[in-house]
Amino acid sequence: MQAQLLEGGFADLPVDASHTFRAVMTAMARPGDIMDVAGAKPPSPLSTACGAVLLTLCDPDTPIYLGTSHNTPEVRDWITFHTGAPFSDVENATFAIGTWQALPLSEFAIGTPEYPDRSATLIVETADLSNAGTTLKGPGIKDQAQLSLPEQQAFQANAALFPLGLDFIFTSGNRLAALPRTTKVS
């Protein structure tokens, strides 16, 4: 138990974090691109990719909301030990982690007109991540891209809030993709 808690962080934090950030940045800049990440071994049900993103972006300045799917003692202890991030309610969360069904979308911070960046980033754990299904258009996409999204309507509603809105990172195993608020889905 204790051993598992202490393990699973980056072996070389600055270097592993730089690689993971490049993957996340590329994914956010190019919606639909699916990137591989490595280096984290978090406790189940956290995926490798979700663990790597947490180690790269989260710290005491980023309150995290855990969806019911991921709100276990093991997950909480691992995140606390490796990132120092506090856990929060939905409204105050900078990051959220959970399956699509476990995240109460309408309650997260979407930013303010003067500070649209003060919005939550949702890390959505998914069983499947592939370039099929929903069509994506918008900044970062040359013509169009395809990504397996859990649904369309929620992302259409989110894009309609622009420049406010939520941003999404989808994680599955050791892979991730992202969907900023600018992406039009159909």
Partner 1 sequence: MSDYNFAYLDEQTKRMIRRAILKGLAIPGYQVPFASREMPMPYGWGTGGVQVSAAVLTPEDTLKVIDQGADDTTNAVSIRRFFEKTAGVQVTEATTDASVIQTRHRIPEQDLRADQILVYQVPIPEPLRFLEPSEVETRKMHSLEEYGLMHVKLYEDISQHGDIATAYAYPVKVEGRYVMDPSPIPKFDNPKLEMAGIQLFGAGREQRIYAIPPYTQVVSLDFDDYPFQASKADHACDLCGAKDSYLDELIVDDQGGRVFMCSDTDYCSTRRAQGHVGAQGSPIQEDAA
Interface ranges with partner 1 (CB under 8 A): 13-15, 17-19, 21-22, 24-26, 28-30, 56-59, 61-62, 94, 113-117, 119, 121, 139-142, 162-163, 167, 180-182
Of 68 and 144, CB closest to partner 1: 144
Output the smallest distance, CB 68 to partner 1, in A: 25
The amino acid that residue 72 corresponds to is: T
Output the smallest distance, CB 128 to partner 1, in A: 24
Say how far apart CA 75 and CA 129 lie, in whole Å.
Answer: 22
Output the smallest distance, CB 114 to partner 1, in A: 4
Output the smallest distance, CB 19 to partner 1, in A: 6
Say how far apart CA 39 and CA 73 lie, in whole Å.
Answer: 22
Match 């978090």 to its residue by tokens: 42
Of 94 and 134, CB closest to partner 1: 94
What region does 166 belong to: left with phi over 0, alpha with psi -120 to 50, or beta? beta
3-class secondary structure, 186: coil
For CA atoms 141, 142, 147, 151, give the dihedral sign: positive
Output the smallest distance, CB 112 to partner 1, in A: 8
The amino acid that residue 96 corresponds to is: A
Dihedral, 37, 126, 53, 105 alpha carbons, nearest 10: 160
Of 68 and 176, CB closest to partner 1: 176
Of 6 and 15, CB closest to partner 1: 15
Of 99 and 182, CB closest to partner 1: 182
Q: How far is CA 95 from CA 34, 54, 146, in A?
A: 20, 9, 25
